[in-house]
Amino acid sequence: MARQTPLPHPLDVTPKPAGPGRPKDPGKRAAILDAAKRLFVAQGFDGVSMDQIASDAGVSKLTVYSHFGDKESLFGEAVRAHCEAGMPTSLFEANPTMPLRERLTSIGKAFFAMVMTPEAIAGHRILCSPQVATSAMPEVFWEAGPQRVQKSFTELLERRIAAGELDIGDVERAAAQFFTLLKGEQHAKAVFGYSCSRRRDTPDEHVDAVVELFMRAYARR
């Protein structure tokens, strides 16, 4: 009869090494992002320290670094969170039953509302400041916000081209044109802090005019 190997006593078993660290607390992450967005808007990128963000969020500075690494990454995540809140993924999901004009209008209204918020205007001004314009921050901002939105919109346009609704030679250019038109004069004036204008277009009228122009240029007749 073969001898059975005795089972080790529980106290003799070497415990497995712990994992790489505690799971990140989503509540603390959200608090840090909220604090960062408020402070960046109020004081600019250079005027805010990680200590201030940690204090405003009610966490330690070590927690801020643990979640985001550095201030540049935190700024990028704040931009991404703003864009995802204003233009969620659901705006770009495949929905072939929705008429093209209606789909473009819903995206246009969401985009225009997002870029005209005080947070977005302040972020644009931050990026135009000499200290930030010559740093890596513009690239961080572009990849975190506009690039994501334009990529999702480009994919939507490609689906509509495949369905025979649009005739576009350069889809990426057309996507960039759409969002540039949506910003238009109103966004530029908001960035400059200039509120006087002879035109009194409502946001809906502005978006409708952009969609009409886009449809005239690219809709398949």
| CATH number of the domain encompassing residue 157 | 1.10.357.10
65 and 98 share a domain?
no
- HEC secondary structure over 67-93: HHCCHHHHHHHHHHHHHHHHCCHHHHC
* CATH value at residue 39: 1.10.10.60
CB 83 within 8 A of CB 114: yes
At 202, give phi and psi (nearest 5°): -80, 160
User: pLDDT-derived band of residue 23, with 50, 70 and 90 as boundaries?
Assistant: low
Indicate if 133 and 201 belong to the same structural domain: yes
Q: Is the pLDDT of residue 17 over 60?
A: no
Same domain, 59 and 111: no
Tell me, yes or no, whether 57 and 92 share the same domain.
no
Range of the domain at 63: 24-69
Same domain, 43 and 89: no
Residue 20 binned pLDDT confidence (cut-offs 50, 70, 90): very low
Return the minimum-mean-pLDDT range out of 7-11, 40-44, 99-103: 7-11
Domain presence at residue 177: yes
**Mean pLDDT of all residues belonging to the chain:** 86
Where residue 6 falls among pLDDT bands split at 50, 70, 90? low
87: number of Cβ within 10 Å: 21
Distances from the Cα of 131 to the Cα of 45, 47, 109, angstroms: 9, 11, 32
Instruction: Judge if 29 and 121 occupy the same domain.
Output: no
In terms of domains, do 30 and 122 share one?
no
Instruction: For residue range 147-188, list pLDDT tens digits in order.
Output: 889 999 999 999 999 999 999 999 999 999 999 999 999 998
Q: Is 213 in the same domain as 106?
A: yes
Residues 59 and 157 in one domain: no
Looking at the structure, tell me whether residues 119 and 208 fall in a common domain.
yes
**Which pair of tokens denotes residue 188?**
């530029």
Give residue-wise pLDDT tens across range 110-153.
999 999 998 888 888 888 878 777 778 788 888 878 888 999 99
Q: How far apart are CA 215 and CA 62, in angstroms?
A: 51
- Confidence label for 10 from pLDDT (cuts 50, 70 and 90): very low
* 201 and 120 within one domain: yes
- Considering its fold, how many domains does the chain have in total? 2
| Same domain assignment for residues 107 and 196 | yes
**Burial label, 201 (beta-carbon count in 10 A; 0-12, 13-18, 19+):** middle
pTM of the model: 0.77
Which 3 state secondary structure label does DSSP give 111? helix
